[in-house]
């Protein structure tokens, strides 16, 4: 995919508009896919994308729409039926991010279920997140805790965009797990409280 060179406004998947700049913790764990994957650090250090005030009425309304759009995915089986699966198969044919993502000093993200079709277009639609994030539930299953918008960067395989896209009025950021791919991403903990913040990458109340 050729890299874009300037911010563009692209049609979203259902006719809405999504602002995309020019230029991702996944699902239930069968024994074959389980395995802890530790993301070392956010590219910019420990900084979390918290400049956006999620308490504002406009953002609260947008988050309510995200909850309404993803409420049917509390059962992971519904997510799988809709095309989400644990991990993402990259351009080399390798399934990555297929285990629990955690960080000893920050908590965890959980298990990431990616939608390959939504990953393919490198566009952002707030009510169609590329990733659904699940965490272990008390009954031994998985519970939906967050959504994640993911756009491939120009260092991903296949390559994506070189400049930060935007979602919910915020620029997405890069979280790099060397030597793996690089994604522009934003989390929203719409289904579980996160004391680190609605849009923090890790949640100290989640473990996996």
Domain-by-domain residue ranges, the chain? 12-188
Distance CA 158, CA 199 (A): 26
**Residue-level pLDDT at 181:** 61
Average confidence score pLDDT of the chain: 78
Is the backbone peptide bond immediately before 105 cis, with ω within 30 degrees of 0? Answer: no
> What is the tens place of the pLDDT at every residue in 25-55?
333 333 222 233 323 333 333 334 444 456 6
**Residue-level pLDDT at 107:** 87
Distance CA 103, CA 88 (A): 20
pLDDT band at 56 (very low <50, low <70, confident <90, very high): confident
Q: Which residues have CB under 8 Å from 89's CB, separation 6+?
A: 95, 96, 116
Whole-prediction pTM: 0.75
Distance CA 120, CA 160 (A): 9
| 58-80: burial string, b at 16+ Cβ within 10 Å, e else | ebeebbeebeebbeebeebeebe
Lowest-confidence region among 26-40, 41-55, 167-181, 183-197: 26-40
- 182 class by beta-carbon count within 10 Å (0-12 exposed, 13-18 middle, 19+ buried): buried
Structure-token match 């959504």, residue found: 147
More confidently predicted of 54 and 9: 54
Q: Judging by DSSP bridges, how do beta strands 88-89 and 95-96 pair with one another?
A: antiparallel
Distance CA 144, CA 135 (A): 7
């Amino acid at each position: 995919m050729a890299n874009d060179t300037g911010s563009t406004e692209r049609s979203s998947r259902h006719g809405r508009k999504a602002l995309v700049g020019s230029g991702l913790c996944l699902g239930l764990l069968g024994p074959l896919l389980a395995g802890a994957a530790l993301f070392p650090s956010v590219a910019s250090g420990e900084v979390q994308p918290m400049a956006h005030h999620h308490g504002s009425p406009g953002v609260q309304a947008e988050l309510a729409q995200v909850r309404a759009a993803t409420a049917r995915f509390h059962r992971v089986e519904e997510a799988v039926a809709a095309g989400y699966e644990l991990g993402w198969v990259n351009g080399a044919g390798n399934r990555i991010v297929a285990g629990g993502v955690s960080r000893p000093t920050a908590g965890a993200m959980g298990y990431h279920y990616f939608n390959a079709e939504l990953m393919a277009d490198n566009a952002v639609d707030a009510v169609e997140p590329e990733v659904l994030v699940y965490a272990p539930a008390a009954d031994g299953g998985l519970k939906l805790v967050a959504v994640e918008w993911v756009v491939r960067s120009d260092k991903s395989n296949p390559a994506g965009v070189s400049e930060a896209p935007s979602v919910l009025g915020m620029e997405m950021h890069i979280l790099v797990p060397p030597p793996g791919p690089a994604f522009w991403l934003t989390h929203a903990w719409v289904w579980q409280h996160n004391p680190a913040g609605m849009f923090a990458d890790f949640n100290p109340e989640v473990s996996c």
